Amino acid sequence: MGAKDKTPSGKDQILELEEIRRQAASGGGDKRIKAQHDKGKMTARERVLFLLDEGSFQEIDALMIHRHQEFGLDEKRFPGDSVVVGFGKVDGRMVAVFSQDFTVMGGSFSEVQGQKVAKILDLAMDAGVPVVGLMDSVGARIQEGVFSLAAYSELFWRNTQASGVIPQISVMLGPCAGGSVYSPGLTDFVIMTRGTSHMFITGPKVIKSVTHEEVDFESLGGAGVHSAKSGVAHFAADSEKDALNIARQLLSYLPGNNAEPPPYVPPQDDPYRQDQALNSLVPTDTDEAYDMRQVIERVVDKTSFFPVHLDFAPNALVGFARLHGQAVGVVANQPNALAGVLDIDSSDKIARFIRFCDAYNFPLITFVDTPGFLPGVNQEHGGIIRHGAKIVYAYSEATVPKIAVIVRKAYGGAYIVLSSKHIRTDLVYAWPTAEIAVMGADGAVDVLYGKEIKAAENADQAREEFVAAYKEKFSKPYPAAASGHVDEVLIPSETRPKLIAALELLKNKQGSTRPKKHGNMPV
Amino acid sequence: MNEFGQGLSLSGIGILITFSALGILILLILILKALFPNKDNDLEISGSEKSPLLQNDPSREELRKKAAAVGVTVLLSKRSFSGKGELGSELEKPVNAWWQRGLGRIQGKE
C-alpha cells in the first residue's frame, strides 16, 4: 500500500478538531452573544474565565449534543448544549465549575445539561473539591418533556448527596424560576446579582392570577428581597464581576471537602495584638447599643472578617474570619439591631451557619450579647420554638471546637444555647461586663419580689432597691466564674491572644457522636 | 567527790546554761518589742480565720485597693502575652492523626 492511500495526516485531524472546538466555544452564535453583552452580561465562558485563575480552566464535555427531535429541536443542536462544564483553580486551589449558557436556548435545563452537570458534580465529590454553579437559565427545556425534569431530579439528588461532603456555591447571574430554584436552594451559599438575577417558584403573572397580588420581578425575587427578607441569598452583588469576586473570596475560606481542615493562610497580624479600644467599646449602660462587628473586627486577624447573610436578620452576625491564619466561623448577636435579640430569622441564620461550620471543620467562636428570644404573638405563632430549637440542635450537634465570649447579656435560653458549658462549649470566656442570669433585672424583680414591692410604702423605691440588689448579684461574671460556668474572665483586650491560645489547644479536638443514620433536626 | 556527786553537779551546770540562754532570749524579745512597738494588732488580725474578702473595716479599704492593684499588675505581668510562649505556633502546623481519627469516627469510618 502506498503513502497516498493512508488516512489523512495528523495535521488535518488537528485542524478538524480546532474547528470543532471553535464552534463549541461560540455557544449560541455571535448574534446571541452580542445580545447577552448588550444586556450587560458576560457569556458562560467569559464568566468561568473571570472566576478561575488565568489559564487554569479545563473544559470537559464541550462536544455533547442532545438527541431530541420534537418541536424543531433537531435543527437546534449546539456542541456542548446549554452549559459549560469543567474544572480549574481559584487562588491555586482546585474547584469544579458549571456555567449555564444563556445564548443556547436561554440556558434551558436539558437532558444533556443535566448529564454534564451531574458528571462534574460526581467528579467533584470523588476528587473532594468545591463546586461552583453559575446560573443563568429560563428553566426546564419544555420541548424535552420528562427528560428535562429527570435531569433536574439528577441535579437535586446530587446537590443533596454533595451536601456536607463538598462546599457548593450558586452564583445567580440571570433568571431562575420554577423548580429550578431548588438546586441553588440546596447549595451552601447563594450569591445573587442585583438587577439581573431573579429567583421565584411562581412568577408575577401566576401570582396575579391566583392571589390577585401585583408584584414585579425585582420585588418578588430580586437580590435585595432574597438577601434581606427571605434569606435565600447569602450575598447580594452589584454586578456579575462583583458576584464572581465574592465567590472567589468565599472559596478562600473553604476547605475542598469535609475531610480537610479549612485552608491555613500565613498570618499577617500579630497574635499578641491587644486592641485597647475593646476595653471601652461596650457601653456601661446595659440598654445602650453598640456595633458588635467592631468587636469582631478588632479581635480577629485584620481585614479577615467576611460576613455571610449580612442583610438578613441583622440582629445576628455570622461569617468567616481568621485567627492567626486559622479560618474560623464567627457567630454573634448584634446589639445595634433589635438589641441583638434572637428571633425566627436570626435562629435560622445562625443554625444554618453553624451546621456548615461543623460539616467543614470550622472552629466556632461565639460572641454573646443578647437579652434572649423575642417575645410576641407573631413570633410564637410563627414557630419561634421550632426555629429557636434549631440553634440548640446545631450547637449541640457540632463537634468542632466551640469557644464562647460573653460580652454582655447572656440571659436565659440564649445563654444556654450560645455559651453554656453544658451544651459542650469547650471554653467559655466572659468580659467584666458580662451579665449571666435567667432573665434581666426588671423582669426578675417582678417575679421574685412582686408582693414585697406591692406592700412597700414607696413601691418605686423598693423596686429600685431590689433591681440594684439583683444587678449586684448577676450583672457581673464572677458568680458564674466562681461556679466554673465561665472558664475565665478576660480583660476585653486580651480576647484575641486568648482565643488564639484556645484554638491551639483545640486544634486537634476529637468530637464524638452517637451512631445513627441521621438526627431529626427541627426544620 | 564521788561519781554521783560529779553527775549531779554536771546536770546542774547544764540546767543553768539552758535557763540562762532562755533568759537572754526573753530579754532580747523584750528589748525588740520596746524598740518596735504596736505591731501586735496587725498580726492578730491577719491571723484571724475570716477571709480578708469579708473584712469590712473601712480603714483597710484603701490598703485592699492597693493590694488588688498590685495583684492585678503581678498577674498581668505573669500572663501578659509579651511575645513569649510562641502563641499561635500550633496553628501553623498541619492537623495530626488524632484529628483525622476523630473525624473518621464521626463519619462512621471507624
Q: What's the pLDDT at B75?
A: 64
End-to-end CA distance of chain B: 96
B83 interfaces chain A, CB cutoff of 8 Å? yes
Residues of chain A above pLDDT 70, percent: 98
- β-bridge partners, A191: A171, A235
DSSP letter for each residue of A187-218: SSEEEEETTT-EEESS-HHHHHHHH-----HH
Please say if the pLDDT value at position A53 is more than 90.
Answer: yes
User: B55-108 pLDDT, tens per residue?
Assistant: 556 667 777 777 777 776 666 655 556 666 789 888 988 888 888 777 877 777
- Find which of B72, B77, B87 to mutate to test the A interface (most A CBs within 10 Å of its CB): B87
Q: Predicted ipTM? A: 0.72
Please say if the pLDDT value at position A132 is more than 90.
Answer: yes
| Cβ-based contacts of A491 with chain B (< 8 Å) | 76
- Residue B108: which of A514, A452, A196, A291 has the closest Cα? A514
C-alpha count within 13 angstroms, C-beta hemisphere, residue A375: 4
Please say if the pLDDT value at position A298 is more than 90.
Answer: yes
Which cell is A209 given?
392570577
3-state DSSP call for residue A63? coil
B95 interfaces chain A, CB cutoff of 8 Å? yes
E strand or H helix at A348, and its extent?
A: helix A344-359
Q: What burial class does residue A474 get, using C-beta atoms within 10 Å of its C-beta: 0-12 exposed, 13-18 middle, 19+ buried?
A: buried
End-to-end CA distance of chain A: 74
Which cell is A53 given?
485563575
Inter-chain contact A512–B105, Cβ cutoff 8 Å? yes
* Cα B54 off chain centre by: 20
Please say if the pLDDT value at position B19 is more than 50.
Answer: yes
Inter-chain contact B88–A512, Cβ cutoff 8 Å? no
* Cα A38 off chain centre by: 32
Inter-chain contact A513–B106, Cβ cutoff 8 Å? yes
CB A140 within 8 A of CB A105: no
Please say if the pLDDT value at position B48 is more than 80.
Answer: no
- Find which of A508, A514, A516 to mutate to test the B interface (most B CBs within 10 Å of its CB): A508
Q: How far is CA A347 from CA A91, A208, A246, A369, A379, in A?
A: 33, 32, 24, 15, 12
B4 interfaces chain A, CB cutoff of 8 Å? no
Inter-chain contact A507–B101, Cβ cutoff 8 Å? no
Please say if the pLDDT value at position B44 is more than 70.
Answer: no
Q: What's the pLDDT at A270?
A: 94
Beta pairing class for A83-90 and A58-60: antiparallel
Please say if the pLDDT value at position A470 is more than 50.
Answer: yes
Q: How far is CA A125 from CA A95, A168, A179, A183, A195, in A?
A: 11, 10, 24, 16, 33
* Identity of the residue numbered A361: N
Q: What's the pLDDT at A1?
A: 47
Q: What's the pLDDT at A6?
A: 61
Q: At what angle do helices A384-397 and A344-359 cross, to 10 degrees?
A: 20
- Find which of B77, B101, B103, B109 to mutate to test the A interface (most A CBs within 10 Å of its CB): B103
Q: Nearest CA to CA, how far is B91 from chain A (Å)?
A: 6
User: A394-449 pLDDT, tens per residue?
Assistant: 999 999 999 999 999 999 888 998 878 888 999 999 999 999 988 878 888 888 88
Please say if the pLDDT value at position B47 is more than 50.
Answer: no
Please say if the pLDDT value at position A4 is more than 60.
Answer: no
Neighbours of A492 (CB within 10 A): 24
Beta pairing class for A189-193 and A168-172: parallel
| Cβ-based contacts of B83 with chain A (< 8 Å) | 272
Please state, in angstroms and rounded to a whole number, the distance separating the CA atoms of residues A188 and A163.
8
Please say if the pLDDT value at position A158 is more than 60.
Answer: yes
Inter-chain contact B107–A326, Cβ cutoff 8 Å? no
| Cβ-based contacts of B108 with chain A (< 8 Å) | 515
B72 interfaces chain A, CB cutoff of 8 Å? no
Residue in the structure block whose three cell numbers are 454573646: A368
- DSSP conformation class of A109: B
CB A425 within 8 A of CB A419: yes
Of the pLDDT bands very low, low, confident and very high (cuts 50, 70, 90), residue A243 is very high
Average pLDDT over residues A506-516: 88
Residue in the structure block whose three cell numbers are 462512621: B108
Beta pairing class for A488-489 and A427-430: parallel
CB nearest to A508's CB, from B76, B99, B106: B99
CB A434 within 8 A of CB A404: no
Q: Positive or negative, the Cα torsion across A47, A53, A56, A58?
A: negative
Of the pLDDT bands very low, low, confident and very high (cuts 50, 70, 90), residue A475 is confident
**Which phi and psi angles does A89 have, rounded to 5°?**
-125, 145
Residue in the structure block whose three cell numbers are 467599646: A281
Q: What's the pLDDT at A72?
A: 80
User: A60-99 pLDDT, tens per residue?
Assistant: 999 888 888 888 888 888 888 999 999 999 999 999 999 9
Inter-chain contact A361–B101, Cβ cutoff 8 Å? no
- β-bridge partners, A437: A411
Considering chain A, what is the average pLDDT of its residues?
Answer: 92
* Identity of the residue numbered A47: R
Among all residues of chain B, which has the CA nearest to that of A327?
Answer: B91
Largest CA distance in chain A: 122
| Cβ-based contacts of B94 with chain A (< 8 Å) | 261
Neighbours of A209 (CB within 10 A): 9
Q: Which residues of A are catalytic?
A: 178-179, 413-414
Using alpha carbons only, how large is chain B's radius of gyration in Å?
33
State the Cα angle at A339 between A335 and A342, rounded to 5°. Answer: 100
Q: Nearest CA to CA, how far is A255 from chain B (Å)?
A: 13
Which residues touch A290 (CB under 8 Å, ≥6 apart)?
A281, A282, A283, A335, A336
E strand or H helix at A328, and its extent?
A: strand A326-333
Q: Model's pTM, two decimal places?
A: 0.83
Residue in the structure block whose three cell numbers are 459542650: A424
Q: What's the pLDDT at B57?
A: 63
Q: What burial class does residue A35 get, using C-beta atoms within 10 Å of its C-beta: 0-12 exposed, 13-18 middle, 19+ buried?
A: middle
E strand or H helix at A429, and its extent?
A: strand A427-430
